[in-house]
Structure 1
Amino acid sequence: MNIPWVEKYRPQTLDDVIGQDQIVKRLQRYVEEEALPNIMFTGSAGVGKTTCAIALAKALLGEYWQQNFLELNASDARGIDTVRNQIKSFCKLKAVGAPFRIIFLDEVDNMTKDAQQALRREMEMYTKTSSFILSCNYSSKIIDPIQSRCAIFRFTPIKAGQIIKRLRVIADKENLKVEDSALEDIVYFTQGDMRKSINILQASTTSDKSVTTEAVLDVINRAKPKSVRKMIMKALDHDFMGARDELRDIMIMDGVSGDDLISQMYQEVNKMTNEKIIPETDFIKLMEYMSECDYRIREGSNARLQIEALLSKFLIVKQEA
């Protein structure tokens, strides 16, 4: 059966995990000591939290890891009944062929406050028989009593070079011809999300086993970075009508949504500032204008009208600076 590449190429051991070297070293220490405190993984999507949890369980529990490992997605099982029934029942059973049992709760920040309070109690009662691995995108949504009972590991977005290297390995195994520019576009749009990068690579594969820039852009349905930069440059050069025409092509011809375009404009302006094309003083004003435009679009205002108004402000930013 053809399975998604995300699962097909998921690292099976801690040594295979990339982009989180310091965290992997600390987790390997637990494996050497054959002990595991309650731990919490926090960070954005696609950076290796679930992969590390499963790899750690395999390393600690050995061949009987499946019998002693419970994985729950807290976004589905988010109520207090889940804690009282599934988790409590699992913790009561004795570990089979392993020193203890592991409960992995993914997206625990989606659990209700009552469920989190109940979970805290279970973590207290079964410390000798079970260990908990909690995973979340936002640790601020986890109640303090749970946070204080966990060793917290903060996962960072994976660097572009590491993602490209991993995508090349997958492409070689799948006998794909991949353009360098296509890989650069993938990491540009995914912003450190390995899972999303692999999914885009697989979706961009054409019938002749090649991945091109055009295929990637069709899958992502975003504007070409060159088009966004061209629009910004025209606005900064006081060519409002030219910038407006570029905006029309991006939003109408390419079908890019307003909120996606604002995000790309922010990425390009930030990149142009790092390249010294835009002075830092201008960048500060542009950030203010873009954040205001983003807020209005998300509140329901006409996206094209708001971005045209934003471009008009780009014309005067140098005068204000």
Structure 2
Amino acid sequence: MRRNALRRVIEKFTENTRFCMICNYLSKVIPALQSRCTRFRFGPLSSEMMIPRLEHVVQQENVQISPDGMKALVTLSNGDMRRALNILQSTYMAYENVTEDTVYTCTGHPLRSDIANILDWMLNKDFTTAYNHIMELKTLKGLALHDILTEVHLYVHRVDFPPSVRIHLLTKMADIEYRLASGTSEKIQLSSLIAAFQVTRDLIVAEA
């Protein structure tokens, strides 16, 4: 209803007004609006382009930010300056000092140290111990399994796994992400994730 109302407003004032709509996902704009617009696509900004502008904002607003906090802003924004500024503002209002820990905590994103611990538990501990540790961490910091899965995926590409083992693990993780998107239980899918890494550990030992 609101989108159709916007379409009527655009049509009514098109003779003397130009509208500019900024969005991250074109698919969320209805076709009736898209057909009345000229589309411009902009790729993500590089860190070299984002950092100077963020430093300017930080200086003008007198925000105390650490080097690792700046790096966290750039990492989590994925090249989106608007998102970087929103995270910066939210973190400063909540914690005053902008550091890596406060940025990740404010956005509800797992810390790199948390992901490193989760990987260590899944690869080196028995199933029950790993499950209990991860559940305790999820409860303590309010982490979502989907966010954990996303970060673990990045680490999987950095670890020197044999190709066949990496393919097996990525396939299992893709299945888990699909089931999470379908609304299944996080506890069950966490068990599946730990089991996938336990099998991976056994495959690595077998190939050694």
Same fold? TM cut 0.5: yes
Please give the per-residue CA displacement for 1:7-37, whole angstroms capped at 9, x wherever unaligned.
Answer: xxxxxxxxxxxxxxxxxxxxxxxxxxxxxxx
Does residue 78 (structure 1) correspond to residue 7 (structure 2)? The answer is no
User: What does 1:169-318 align with in structure 2 at a 5 Å threshold?
Assistant: 169-205=56-92, 209-237=96-124, 239-270=126-157, 272-273=158-159, 277-317=160-200
Shift of 1:209: 4.9
Greater helix fraction, Structure 1 or Structure 2: 2
Amino acid at match of 1:89: K
Amino acid at match of 1:187: V
| Aligned positions, number | 202
Aligned-partner Cα distance in 2 for 1:221–1:92: 45
Does residue 91 (structure 1) correspond to residue 14 (structure 2)? The answer is yes
Which residue does the alignment assign to 1:142?
Answer: none
3-state secondary structure, aligned to 1:154: coil
Aligned sequence identity (%)? 21
Shift of 1:309: 1.9
Shift of 1:241: 4.5
Aligned-partner Cα distance in 2 for 1:301–1:86: 41
User: What does 1:40-55 align with in structure 2 at a 5 Å threshold?
Assistant: none
Aligned-partner Cα distance in 1 for 2:41–2:19: 19
Shift of 1:220: 1.1
Greater strand fraction, Structure 1 or Structure 2: 1
Amino acid at match of 1:78: R
Q: 1:174 to 1:304 in 2, by over 3 A?
A: same
> Max radius of gyration: which structure?
1
Q: 1:265 to 1:207 in 2, by over 3 A?
A: closer
| Contact 1:159/1:192, CA 8 A, preserved across alignment | yes
User: What does 1:161-176 align with in structure 2 at a 5 Å threshold?
Assistant: 161-176=48-63
Gaps of 5+ in 1: 1-75, 94-100, 124-131, 135-152
Does residue 104 (structure 1) correspond to residue 27 (structure 2)? The answer is no
Q: 1:209 to 1:111 in 2, by over 3 A?
A: closer
Gaps of 5+ in 2: none
Length-normalised TM-score, structure 2: 0.78
Shift of 1:303: 0.6
Please give the per-residue CA displacement for 1:266-314, whole angstroms capped at 9, x wherever unaligned.
Answer: 23323x24xxx44444332222111111111222222123122212211
Q: 1:279 to 1:197 in 2, by over 3 A?
A: farther
Aligned-partner Cα distance in 1 for 2:51–2:130: 32
Shift of 1:168: 2.0
Shift of 1:254: 0.9
| Contact 1:103/1:133, CA 8 A, preserved across alignment | no
Q: 1:160 to 1:284 in 2, by over 3 A?
A: farther
| Contact 2:101/2:111, CA 8 A, preserved across alignment | no
Shift of 1:262: 1.8
Tell which has more relative contact order, 1 or 2 (C-alpha 8 A, sep 6+). Answer: 1
